């Protein structure tokens, strides 16, 4: 049976390929955090690494590494579930492996160019060879084209396997959603010298990724993981998934208007953006309820059988998925809603408040569940029936979550001060920006952010250490 939670081993080469993607993802996650810390120190000591490794470069590598590791982990998770869901071993996994190596070689070259060359002259050649200067997706044009080719290989694998195998609801959503996700990337590839037009299309990638297609992707992951880890009923999980997809696309697509308030687009975007983006937290509440409801229900069934909490076959994965339910709701839903109405956004736009939301949402909605999938992959790779939380798993999840939450609160305070002093009191002038940046509330908040960043990094070290050892530990415990 496809949904059996007893088949806990890697069943094919596709899943091994998924593990390869996970390994690179976790390395890039580590690199992301180191870059973030450099940028955080530069907030406090602007001279730190001046002209060697400027803030703009550290920030660029920080957020590009973020996007790339998440895409890697998403591809890994897809390969992980492909065979289980379709009942087919995968059509062209050899080609998929080639794609992996091509992509990894390209990413390595791009990162080295970011770090060593850093910036080029304002010519077409820089766009092709160094970077495009489009926040989050700065890859140079040659790499853009390479990425499209590799993603086509990946998508071919997923689509052809789906067509040959069983077509579950989860897989149907995944196949359709991945097409949209991959296609949107191209909206961020063509060049125009009109900054408004450039931003208009750039948001098609950024917003329609994180507030539509990536969220739907998370919905499919959660559905699959709940079936595998707590033995949730497929019919119930898939019913939730369809409702969530409808709500996510229904609010998220036009919710994009919240980025069109001040970039030169027509004013009707104020109303459209306000209305639809204000609805965006609704599906996030549904996703939150869904995870907790299924968990509680399975728990009840277990207790009825006289077992206590024994239905969870993978403790760390489940802990990260529950963190995802909270984190998605808080980071995207609450922190997003805070600044989404134009009446509020006119004051908060581009302040540290935005950065607070950016951190908690990316971590809460995506890092968490992708890490959960890595633990699930490990359980399969080691062929263990039960994977329990170790001390290191607990420290990993606690310190990273506490650290990111701490950074978010610090940045929220810094943003609040900017809103009051820079925007409200001083009227958003050039001078106001610098006055606000030098007041004690702002400086102390940045200090706390750096401290909480160190806590996050410590959590990451525990996490990586746990990922390296938990498979062996679980296997020995089972023997
Ligand atoms: C997991 C989902 C989400 C992620 C990962 C995310 C991430 C981000 C990031 C990184 C930015 C900063 C972009 C930049 O550099 O300019 C941003 C901006 C913004 N987000 Fe989200 N977001 C999510 C969901 C939401 C939701 C659900 C809402 C509304 C309810 C929202 C409202 C906004 C608004 C209004 C801005 C613009 C801030 C400004 O004017 O400076 N976000 N988001
Ligand atoms: C060691 C921990 C971290 C530190 C010290 C750190 C520091 C920073 C700094 C200094 C910036 C630039 C902010 C600015 O331009 O004002 C930044 C941006 C950003 N970081 Fe981090 N970061 C850390 C971890 C993370 C994590 C775990 C995530 C998400 C999973 C993340 C996501 C982001 C995003 C999305 C932005 C862009 C925000 C925006 O444009 O509004 N960071 N980070
Ligand atoms: Fe958005």
Stretch 78-105: mean pLDDT, rounded? 93
Stretch 157-186: mean pLDDT, rounded? 96
- What confidence category does residue 5 fall into, taking pLDDT thresholds of 50, 70 and 90? very low
- What confidence category does residue 9 fall into, taking pLDDT thresholds of 50, 70 and 90? low
- What's residue 137's pLDDT? 95
Q: In whole angstroms, what separates CA 287 from the centre of its chain?
A: 16
State yes or no: pLDDT of 4 exceeds 50: no
Give start-end residues of each CATH 1.20.210.10 domain in the chain. Answer: 1-166, 313-479
- What confidence category does residue 10 fall into, taking pLDDT thresholds of 50, 70 and 90? low
> Residues 214-262: pLDDT tens digits?
999 999 999 999 999 999 999 999 999 999 999 999 999 999 999 999 9
**Which one of 42, 54, 62, 396 would you pick to mutate in the ligand 2 pocket, going by the greatest count of ligand atoms within 8 A of its CB?**
62
State yes or no: pLDDT of 45 exceeds 90: yes
State yes or no: pLDDT of 309 exceeds 70: no
- Residue of 401, 379, 390 whose CA lies nearest to 331: 401
- What's residue 302's pLDDT? 80
State yes or no: pLDDT of 3 exceeds 70: no
Stretch 123-129: mean pLDDT, rounded? 94
- What's residue 421's pLDDT? 98
Q: Identify the residue with better confidence: 2 or 240.
A: 240
- What's residue 64's pLDDT? 98
Lowest mean pLDDT among 57-71, 298-312, 428-442: 298-312
State yes or no: pLDDT of 406 exceeds 80: yes
Supply the residue whose CA is at minimum distance from atom 9 of ligand 1. 358
Number of Cβ within a 10 Å radius of residue 205: 21
- The two tokens of residue 315 are 């403790």
Supply the residue whose CA is at minimum distance from atom 4 of ligand 2. 36
Give the CATH architecture of domain 313-479: Up-down Bundle (1.20)
* Centroid of ligand 2 to alpha carbon of 32 (angstroms): 9
CA distances from 227 to 203, 234, 296 (A): 34, 6, 14
- What's residue 6's pLDDT? 43
Mean pLDDT, all residues of the chain: 94
Supply the residue whose CA is at minimum distance from atom 42 of ligand 1. 336
* Centroid of ligand 3 to alpha carbon of 272 (angstroms): 13
**What number does the ligand 2 atom closest to the CA of 29 have?**
27
The ligand whose atoms approach the alpha carbon of 208 most closely is 3
- What's residue 303's pLDDT? 83
Supply the residue whose CA is at minimum distance from atom 17 of ligand 2. 36
* Centroid of ligand 2 to alpha carbon of 62 (angstroms): 7
**What number does the ligand 1 atom closest to the CA of 333 have?**
27
**What number does the ligand 2 atom closest to the CA of 366 have?**
30
**Which one of 357, 359, 370, 411 would you pick to mutate in the ligand 1 pocket, going by the greatest count of ligand atoms within 8 A of its CB?**
357
CATH of 1-166, picked from 1.20.1560.10, 3.90.1150.10, 1.20.210.10, 3.60.20.10, is 1.20.210.10
pTM of the complete model = 0.96
Which residues have CB under 6 Å of ligand 2?
33, 36-37, 39-40, 43, 59, 62-63, 66, 354-355, 358-359, 362-363, 367, 404, 453, 456-457
- What's residue 1's pLDDT? 31
């Amino acid at each position: 049976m496809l949904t059996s939670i007893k088949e806990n081993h890697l069943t094919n080469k596709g899943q091994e390929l998924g593990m390869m993607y996970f390994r690179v993802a976790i390395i890039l996650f580590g690199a992301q955090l180191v870059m973030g810390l450099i940028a955080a120190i530069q907030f406090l000591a602007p001279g730190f690494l001046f002209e060697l490794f400027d803030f703009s470069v550290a920030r660029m590598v920080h957020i590009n590494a973020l996007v790339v590791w998440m895409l890697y982990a998403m591809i890994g998770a897809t390969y992980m579930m492909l065979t289980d869901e379709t009942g087919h071993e995968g059509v062209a996994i050899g080609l998929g492996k080639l794609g992996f190596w091509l992509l990894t070689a390209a990413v390595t070259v791009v990162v080295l160019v970011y770090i060593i060359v850093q910036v080029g002259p304002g010519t077409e050649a820089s766009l092709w060879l160094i970077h495009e200067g489009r926040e989050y997706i700065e890859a140079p044009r040659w790499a853009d084209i390479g990425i499209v080719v590799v993603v086509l290989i990946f998508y071919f694998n997923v689509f052809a396997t789906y067509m040959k195998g069983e077509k579950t609801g989860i897989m149907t959503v995944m196949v359709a959603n991945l097409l949209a996700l991959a296609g949107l990337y191209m909206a961020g590839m063509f060049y125009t010298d009109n900054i408004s037009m450039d931003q208009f299309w750039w948001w098609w990638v950024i917003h329609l990724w994180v507030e539509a297609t990536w969220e739907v992707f998370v919905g499919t992951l959660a559905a699959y993981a709940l079936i595998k880890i707590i033995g949730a009923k497929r019919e119930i999980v898939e019913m939730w998934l369809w409702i969530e997809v409808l709500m996510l696309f229904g609010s998220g697509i036009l919710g994009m208007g919240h980025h069109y308030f001040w970039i030169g687009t027509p004013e009707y975007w104020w109303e459209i953006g306000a209305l639809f983006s204000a609805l965006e937290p609704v599906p996030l509440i549904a996703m939150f309820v869904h995870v907790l409801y299924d968990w509680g229900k399975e728990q009840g069934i277990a207790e009825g059988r006289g077992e206590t909490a024994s239905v969870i076959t993978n403790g760390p994965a489940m802990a990260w998925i529950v963190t995802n339910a909270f984190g998605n709701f808080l980071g995207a839903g609450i922190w997003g809603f805070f600044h989404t109405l134009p009446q509020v956004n006119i004051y908060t736009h581009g302040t540290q408040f935005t950065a607070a939301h950016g951190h908690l949402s990316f971590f809460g909605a995506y890092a968490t569940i992708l890490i959960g999938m890595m633990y699930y992959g490990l359980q399969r790779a080691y062929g263990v029936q039960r994977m329990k939380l170790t001390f290191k798993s607990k420290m990993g999840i606690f310190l990273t979550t506490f650290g990111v939450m701490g950074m978010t609160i610090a940045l929220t305070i810094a943003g609040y001060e900017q809103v009051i002093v820079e925007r409200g009191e001083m009227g958003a002038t050039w001078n106001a920006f610098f006055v606000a940046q030098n007041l004690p509330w702002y400086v102390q908040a940045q200090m706390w952010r750096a401290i909480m960043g160190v806590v996050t990094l410590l959590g990451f070290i525990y996490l990586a250490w746990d990922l390296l050892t938990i498979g062996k530990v679980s296997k020995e415990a089972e023997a």
